[in-house]
Amino acid sequence: MGRCNGYRPTKANREEYEKLRAALHQLDSSQWVKASYIMREITALLGHAGGPMNGKIEPRACRYCGYFGHTRQFCKARLAHEEAKKERLLEEDRRHFEEVKARPLPPRHDPYTMGQAKTFNDLRIPFSVDPDLGAIVGVRGEAHDGLWTYDAEGRVTLR
């Protein structure tokens, strides 16, 4: 959809239009009466008495900063805030990355000495290590990987 060419200044009245527009930019939404008068002057200057159905033309205040003359999409305060927020997030990511990089690596998991294998050794239970399951309780007659094993009579003994 094309842009409306209705409320655009000509070369002859551009300077006065810019002054009125600058005055409109200085007003916040609590000064809506002044903004309405300035908008009436702008529309009279541009040769428009009313809107498409001869209604009064009212200025819009930005929903972000509350000032007249622009919308949230083009709000400089919002753009600056979002840029600062983006920079804060990037700095936080950099700082977190440096912390993680400086942190020592955790010890590599050893299925023969860590986790369930350590518990089995502490409780004097013979065990073997399965490549998929890790440490599992050993059975008599099998080779055992822990500190304990079964002797010929079936008693648990230190290896």
Residue 68 lies in a domain: yes
Residue 92 lies in a domain: no
Burial grade of 150 (CB within 10 A; 0-12, 13-18, 19 or more): middle
Residue 152 lies in a domain: yes
pLDDT number for residue 8: 80
Residue 61 lies in a domain: yes
Q: Among 72, 87, 107, give the residue marking a domain's end.
A: 72
pLDDT at 4 over 80: no
Q: Among 72, 88, 104, give the residue marking a domain's end.
A: 72
Residue 45 lies in a domain: yes
Give start and end residues of each alpha helix (H) in 30-106: 32-46, 76-102
Residue 31 lies in a domain: yes
pLDDT tens-digit readout, 84-103? 999 999 999 999 999 999 99
pTM equals: 0.55
Residue 83 lies in a domain: no
**Mean pLDDT of all residues in 107-113:** 79
Half-sphere exposure of 119 (CA within 13 A, CB side): 6
Provide the domain count of the chain.
Answer: 2
Residue 7 lies in a domain: no
Domain that holds residue 136: 116-158
pLDDT number for residue 87: 97
